[in-house]
Amino acid sequence: MRRSSTGYWLAVIAAITAFALVVVWPDNPDRYLPDFFPWPSGNGLQVGDFDREEMRLGLDLKGGTYVLLEADTSRLPPDIDVDAAVEGAKDIIENRVNAFGVAETEIQREGVNRLSVQLPGISPEEARDLIGKTALLEFREPTLDAQGNVLCLADDGTQFAVLGSTNSAIIPDRESGEARCIDAVSGRSGKAILEPAICQAILDPAACEGVAGVPLNGTLLNPDSEVIAQGQGFAVTLEFNSTGGEIFSNVSGRLIE
């Protein structure tokens, strides 16, 4: 009786051990085990729609980059909440990192104006490209043909033009950030061909004196733009400097016409 009981428990232990190996088995065993043996690779456990993901390793096991960022609060207006500004910067960095799918990232506040960022599996060069670049707000306008129609690029690479009428439409795509063209007559669809918004002296040669060809972007904004809650939504307020205001007036005037 004892032998049968011992054999039973040995079988249970062996089954649990085999199951544990399947669960924790790495996707790339050659990274951890001698490569002279053809170890099985893959996620290891798949039951129906459930598929075990690869084990996530932190900065201490996987390696990567540790970045300490310090905000230059001396450049902020005196009435700006520094704590809120740093929290806003933290949210922006988290959104950038999450968009690239970097797993096990840790972003924490250190003191009043510092952020520590741990990026497992990311080299210093990749980290610099990921979080070290400053976002630039760009204003773009549709490219028009000789007749004033909006040029669009179809999915097959060919161009076509649409009119702003009931038979055609240009719809912004919030996910991709593109302006989509849909021609109800021909059934063609694609994306609008956009170009940087610049001041163009079409009727008055002196209209763009000193700013001709200057692109309208975030560098021409005054540092008092903000997002304001309005009812159940939000509104973004922008204030251009004198150069930006002149270009914006020209661009908006041309497009409205």
DSSP string, the chain: -HHHHHHHHHHHHHHHHHHHHHHH--S-GGGTS-TTS----S---EETTEEPPPPP--HHHH-EEEEEEE--GGGS-TTS-HHHHHHHHHHHHHHHHHHTT-TT-EEEEETTTEEEEEEET--HHHHHHHHSSPP--B-EEE-B-TTSPEEEEETTS-EEEE-SSTTEEEEE-TTT--EEEEETTT--EEEE-EEE-BB--SS-TTTTTTTBT-B-BGGGB-TT-EEEEETTEEEEE--B-HHHHHHHHHHHHHHH-
What is the structure's pLDDT at 256?
A: 72
Residue with more model confidence, 42 or 107:
107
Residues 220 and 187 both lie in one domain: no
Residues 123 and 143 both lie in one domain: no
What is the structure's pLDDT at 26?
A: 65
Query: What is the count of structural domains for the chain?
Result: 4
Gap between the Cα atoms of 52 and 103, Å rounded: 15
Residues 76 and 122 both lie in one domain: yes
* Residues contacting residue 64 through CB under 8 Å, at least 6 positions apart: 118, 119, 120, 121, 122, 123
Residues 17 and 77 both lie in one domain: no
What is the structure's pLDDT at 181?
A: 86
Lowest mean pLDDT among 51-55, 82-86, 120-124, 213-217: 51-55
- Candidate ranges 33-47, 133-147, 163-177, 185-199; pick with highest mean pLDDT: 185-199
Q: Could you say which of 85, 111, 131 is where a domain stops?
A: 131
Q: Could you say which of 196, 222, 240 is where a domain stops?
A: 196
pLDDT band at 84 (very low <50, low <70, confident <90, very high): confident
Q: Provide the domain limits for residue 168.
A: 136-196
Residue with more model confidence, 208 or 224:
208
Residues 64 and 126 both lie in one domain: yes
What is the structure's pLDDT at 187?
A: 82
Mean of all residue pLDDT scores within the chain: 76
pLDDT band at 167 (very low <50, low <70, confident <90, very high): low
> Tell me, what CATH number does 122's domain have?
3.30.70.3220
What is the structure's pLDDT at 221?
A: 82
What is the structure's pLDDT at 232?
A: 65
Residue with more model confidence, 117 or 78:
117
pLDDT of 234-256, one tens digit each?
677 888 888 888 899 888 887 77
Residues 69 and 126 both lie in one domain: yes
What is the structure's pLDDT at 183?
A: 82
Lowest mean pLDDT among 16-20, 32-36, 229-233: 229-233
Asked if 198 contacts 213 with a C-beta cutoff of 8 angstroms, the reply is yes
Residues 192 and 241 both lie in one domain: no
Asked if 172 contacts 182 with a C-beta cutoff of 8 angstroms, the reply is no
Residues 112 and 74 both lie in one domain: yes
pLDDT of 176-221, one tens digit each?
667 888 887 788 888 888 899 998 887 676 778 888 888 898 888 8
Residues 226 and 188 both lie in one domain: no
Give residue 75's region: left, alpha or beta (phi > 0; psi -120 to 50). alpha
Q: Could you say which of 148, 165, 196 is where a domain stops?
A: 196
Residues 212 and 245 both lie in one domain: yes
Residues 235 and 181 both lie in one domain: no
Residues 103 and 124 both lie in one domain: yes
